A and B are shown apart, each in its own frame.
Chain A
Amino acid sequence: MQAREAFASAGELAERLRGTGYLADDALATVAWLALRLERPLLLEGEPGTGKTALAEAVAQALDLPLVRLQCYEGIDATQALYDWDFPRQILHLRAVEAVAAQRTTDVAAVEDELFDERFLLARPVLRALRESPAVLLVDEIDRADDEFEAFLLEVLSTWQVTIPELGTVSAATPPIVVLTSNRTRELHDALKRRCLYHWIDHPGLERELQIVRTRAPHVSHTLAEQVVTVVQGLRTDRELVKPPGVAETLDWARALHELGARDLDLETAAASLGVAVKYREDAERVRAALDRLLAR
Chain B
Amino acid sequence: MSTATAHAPDEVLLAFARAVRAAGVAVTADRERTYLEAAAQVGLAEAQTYWAGRATLCGSPADLERYDQVYAAWFGLDRVSRRSARDRDHPLTQASVEPAGTDGTGPVDVEEDETVRARASATEVLRHRDLASLSAAERARLATLFASLRPRAPRRAAARRAPARRGAVDARRTLRAQLRRFGEPAPLQWRRRATRPRRLVLLVDVSGSMSGYADALLRLAHAYAAQGLPVEVFTLGTRLTHVTRALRQRDPERALVACGAVVPDWSGGTRLAQGLGAFLDRWGRRGMARGAVVVVFSDGWEREAPQALGEQMRRLRGLAHRVVWVNPHRGKPGYLPVQQGIVAALPYIDDFLAGHSMATFEELVEVVAHA
Where the two chains meet, the residues of A that have a C-beta atom closer than 8 Å to any C-beta of B are 10, 26-27, 30-31, 33-35, 37-38, 40, 45, 47, 74-75, 77, 87, 91, 94, 143-144, 183-187, 190, 193-194, 197-200, 202-205, 237, 239-240, 242-243
For chain B, the bracket of interface size reads: 35 or more
Smallest Cβ-Cβ distance to A80: which chain B residue: B159
Query: How many angstroms between the C-alpha atoms of A200 and B86 in the bound complex?
Result: 10
Q: Residue B160 contacts which of A75, A91, A144 (CB distance < 8 angstroms)?
A: A75
Interface presence of B226 (CB below 8 A): no
For A199, the chain B residues whose CB sits under 8 A away are: 54-55
CB-CB contacts of B338-362 with A at 8 A, as 1s and 0s?
Answer: 0000000000000000000000000
For A237, the chain B residues whose CB sits under 8 A away are: 89
Q: Residue A197 contacts which of B56, B82, B179 (CB distance < 8 angstroms)?
A: B56
Interface stretch (choices B120-128, B147-155, B202-210, B281-289): B281-289
Interface residues of B in 1-50 (CB under 8 A from A): 26, 28, 30-31, 34, 37-38, 41-42, 47-48
Given contacts A34-B41, A34-B55, A75-B196, contact A194 B30 (CB under 8 A): yes
Can you list 20 contacts pairing A with B, beta carbon distance less than 8 Å?
A: A10-B48, A26-B51, A27-B51, A33-B42, A34-B38, A34-B42, A45-B61, A75-B159, A185-B283, A185-B286, A186-B287, A187-B60, A194-B31, A194-B59, A198-B59, A199-B55, A200-B64, A202-B85, A205-B85, A240-B104
Query: How many angstroms between the C-alpha atoms of A38 and B106 in the bound complex?
Result: 35
Q: Are A239 and B105 in contact (CB under 8 A)?
A: yes
Query: How many angstroms between the C-alpha atoms of A250 and B12 in the bound complex?
Result: 43
Interface presence of B247 (CB below 8 A): no
Interface presence of B172 (CB below 8 A): yes
Smallest Cβ-Cβ distance to B52: which chain A residue: A34
Q: Residue B52 contacts which of A30, A87, A91 (CB distance < 8 angstroms)?
A: A30
Query: How many angstroms between the C-alpha atoms of A91 and B177 in the bound complex?
Result: 13
Interface presence of B164 (CB below 8 A): no
For B60, the chain A residues whose CB sits under 8 A away are: 45, 187, 193, 198
Interface presence of B84 (CB below 8 A): yes
Least CB distance, A41 to chain B, in whole angstroms = 11
Least CB distance, A169 to chain B, in whole angstroms = 25
Q: Residue A31 contacts which of B55, B105, B108 (CB distance < 8 angstroms)?
A: B55
Interface class of chain B by DSSP: helix
For B159, the chain A residues whose CB sits under 8 A away are: 74-75
Q: Are A144 and B38 in contact (CB under 8 A)?
A: no
Interface presence of B158 (CB below 8 A): yes
Least CB distance, A130 to chain B, in whole angstroms = 23
Q: Are B287 and A185 in contact (CB under 8 A)?
A: yes
Q: Are B104 and A239 in contact (CB under 8 A)?
A: yes
Where the two chains meet, the residues of B that have a C-beta atom closer than 8 Å to any C-beta of A are 26, 28, 30-31, 34, 37-38, 41-42, 47-48, 51-52, 54-56, 58-61, 63-64, 82, 84-86, 89, 103-106, 108, 111, 158-160, 172, 175, 179, 196, 281, 283, 285-288
Query: How many angstroms between the C-alpha atoms of A144 and B288 in the bound complex?
Result: 10
Q: Are A242 and B281 in contact (CB under 8 A)?
A: yes
Q: Are B85 and A203 in contact (CB under 8 A)?
A: yes
Least CB distance, B183 to chain A, in whole angstroms = 8
Interface class of chain A by DSSP: mixed
Question: 19 more A-B contacts (CB under 8 A) besides A34-B55, A197-B34, A237-B89?
Answer: A10-B48, A27-B51, A27-B84, A30-B55, A31-B54, A37-B41, A77-B160, A91-B175, A94-B179, A183-B287, A184-B286, A193-B60, A194-B28, A197-B38, A202-B84, A202-B85, A239-B104, A239-B106, A243-B285
For A193, the chain B residues whose CB sits under 8 A away are: 59-60
Q: Are B34 and A40 in contact (CB under 8 A)?
A: yes
For B286, the chain A residues whose CB sits under 8 A away are: 183-185
Q: Are B160 and A143 in contact (CB under 8 A)?
A: no
Least CB distance, A63 to chain B, in whole angstroms = 17
Q: Are A197 and B55 in contact (CB under 8 A)?
A: yes
Query: How many angstroms between the C-alpha atoms of A281 and B272 in the bound complex?
Result: 23
For B287, the chain A residues whose CB sits under 8 A away are: 143-144, 183, 185-186
Smallest Cβ-Cβ distance to A233: which chain B residue: B85
Least CB distance, A104 to chain B, in whole angstroms = 19
For B38, the chain A residues whose CB sits under 8 A away are: 34, 37-38, 197
5 closest residue pairs by CB, A with B: A185-B287, A75-B159, A30-B51, A239-B104, A197-B55
For B283, the chain A residues whose CB sits under 8 A away are: 185
Smallest Cβ-Cβ distance to A192: which chain B residue: B59
Q: Are B288 and A10 in contact (CB under 8 A)?
A: no
For A27, the chain B residues whose CB sits under 8 A away are: 51, 54, 82, 84
For B108, the chain A residues whose CB sits under 8 A away are: 47
Query: How many angstroms between the C-alpha atoms of A143 and B56 in the bound complex?
Result: 20
Query: How many angstroms between the C-alpha atoms of A184 and B86 in the bound complex?
Result: 16
For A87, the chain B residues whose CB sits under 8 A away are: 172, 175
